[in-house]
Chains A and B, each alone.
Chain A
């Protein structure tokens, strides 16, 4: 995943040339596109360890609330995604010749909310597709449309942070919080049913 993100940074920077204005304008979109596709590679592997010998069934039959399995997978995916973002964002800024702007706490906020939105939807869909024969296809087909709102809001918030447009920035952040909240609650309501899909 990390190699993919680094490759995206260098390929797009090279193809856009040395026009600083072009590089600055393109950065938010390319940054989040790299995270989206890197995250999709990771999401396809969410239950890879459980598939071959159906270990997931053993986990489901263990005592305790089944939601713990989802939350554990979600936490793992979130931590992994945030780590990739934290490592690669400075690299993107450097390669795209964009000066660091805005407090680091606001950068962390965007990265965390964007990662949460992505992995919440991704983990839910991974769970639903794990027992289906064409799971990877279903995951890709459903994940991309559902991630469109997250991508729009994170790209806009990143752009506003880079241009120091505070009013617009908070609007997108509130939108992200609402989206994340919806996909935090939805799996908690659906999860018992999801296992039998």
Chain B
């Protein structure tokens, strides 16, 4: 499948990733425009996390083409400050405070006015009150908010979010919805991997289904009813030909 979601910010053409003898991604093709949100859904082991790792530059693709911001990424791993990944873990140090962790990343990314920026993002995720607490004392939801703050810190053009709602309470989920809406309004884009149809319908402009490493179906969310998406996720994607 090589259907265009339009736009030049990210483009994958028959992208493949093999780990050992196992093909985790098989000829995945799509592209994304600036200021849009794409949701990747699929059962466990479908390759969602692997796809995000390849798109982030953490893992090199085994085949196909990957273009980010008009530049082709070769078969090497590559980091780019315009792309940030939120994984299953926070990528933070448990023995440092939330402020110290974010300041460390701000320096690592060479941000100007680093302290000011750290305070801004901590306020944005409503974690300023716990800025001097060690990460190891945080609840799961607070760690997720701190991880979100790290992702927002660099003011990246493309956010890659692997199940970002995990661990968040009701207020946290609303906060994330708001942040993702702001991202799109300011011309930034995101790709999120999720199992939750409600989350996807709320924040994404398009949704794609990954099964066995293949992108088997996709649709714009404004042309989709929630029950259709539920049927697709149950495996009836052939009947919902988007």
B56: chain A residues at CB < 8 Å are 61
Give the docked Cα–Cα distance between A45 and B55 (Å).
31
Of the stretches A23-31, A32-40, A52-60, A165-173, the one at the interface is A52-60
Q: Which of A54, A61, A192 contacts B84 (CB under 8 A)? A: A61
Q: Which of A49, A54, A195, A196 contacts B87 (CB under 8 A)? A: A54
Asked whether, in the complex, the Cβ of B93 is within 8 Å of the Cβ of A195, the reply is no
The residue on A at minimum CB distance from B147 is A53
Asked whether, in the complex, the Cβ of B87 is within 8 Å of the Cβ of A57, the reply is yes
Asked whether, in the complex, the Cβ of A61 is within 8 Å of the Cβ of B57, the reply is yes
A55: chain B residues at CB < 8 Å are 91-93
Q: Which of B88, B94, B109, B143 contacts A63 (CB under 8 A)? A: B109
Proximity bits, A48-72, B CB within 8 Å = 1, else 0: 0110111101111111101000000
Given A61-B79, A195-B77, A196-B77: A53 and B89 within 8 A (CB)? yes
Given A53-B135, A195-B77: A62 and B90 within 8 A (CB)? no
Give the docked Cα–Cα distance between A39 and B58 (Å).
30
Tell me if B139 counts as interface (CB < 8 A to partner A): no
Asked whether, in the complex, the Cβ of A63 is within 8 Å of the Cβ of B59, the reply is no
A59: chain B residues at CB < 8 Å are 108
The residue on A at minimum CB distance from B93 is A55
Query: Which residues 52-105 of B sit at the A interface, judged by CB distance below 8 A?
Result: 56-60, 76-77, 79-81, 84-85, 87-95, 105
B95: chain A residues at CB < 8 Å are 49
Give the docked Cα–Cα distance between A54 and B56 (Å).
15
B76: chain A residues at CB < 8 Å are 192
Tell me if B48 counts as interface (CB < 8 A to partner A): no
B95 CB, nearest partner CB in chain A, Å = 6
Q: Which of B58, B93, B110, B143 contacts A57 (CB under 8 A)? A: B58
A195 CB, nearest partner CB in chain B, Å = 7
Asked whether, in the complex, the Cβ of A62 is within 8 Å of the Cβ of B93, the reply is no
A195: chain B residues at CB < 8 Å are 77
A50: chain B residues at CB < 8 Å are 93
Asked whether, in the complex, the Cβ of B79 is within 8 Å of the Cβ of A63, the reply is yes
B93: chain A residues at CB < 8 Å are 49-50, 53, 55
Give the docked Cα–Cα distance between A50 and B91 (Å).
8
Asked whether, in the complex, the Cβ of A60 is within 8 Å of the Cβ of B79, the reply is yes
B26: chain A residues at CB < 8 Å are none
The residue on A at minimum CB distance from B60 is A196
The interface centre, meaning the residue of B57, B79, B89, B91 with most chain A CB atoms within 10 A of its CB, is: B91
The residue on A at minimum CB distance from B53 is A57
Give the docked Cα–Cα distance between A66 and B56 (Å).
15
Asked whether, in the complex, the Cβ of A52 is within 8 Å of the Cβ of B94, the reply is yes
B85: chain A residues at CB < 8 Å are 57, 61
The residue on B at minimum CB distance from A195 is B77
Given A192-B76, A196-B59: A63 and B92 within 8 A (CB)? no
Tell me if B11 counts as interface (CB < 8 A to partner A): no
Using a CB–CB cutoff of 8 Å, the interface residues on chain B facing chain A are 56-60, 76-77, 79-81, 84-85, 87-95, 105, 108-110, 135, 143, 150
3 interchain residue pairs of minimum CB distance: A58-B91, A54-B89, A62-B108
18 contacts between A and B (CB under 8 A): A49-B93, A53-B94, A54-B89, A54-B91, A55-B91, A57-B58, A57-B89, A57-B91, A58-B91, A59-B108, A60-B79, A61-B56, A61-B79, A62-B79, A63-B81, A64-B79, A192-B77, A195-B77
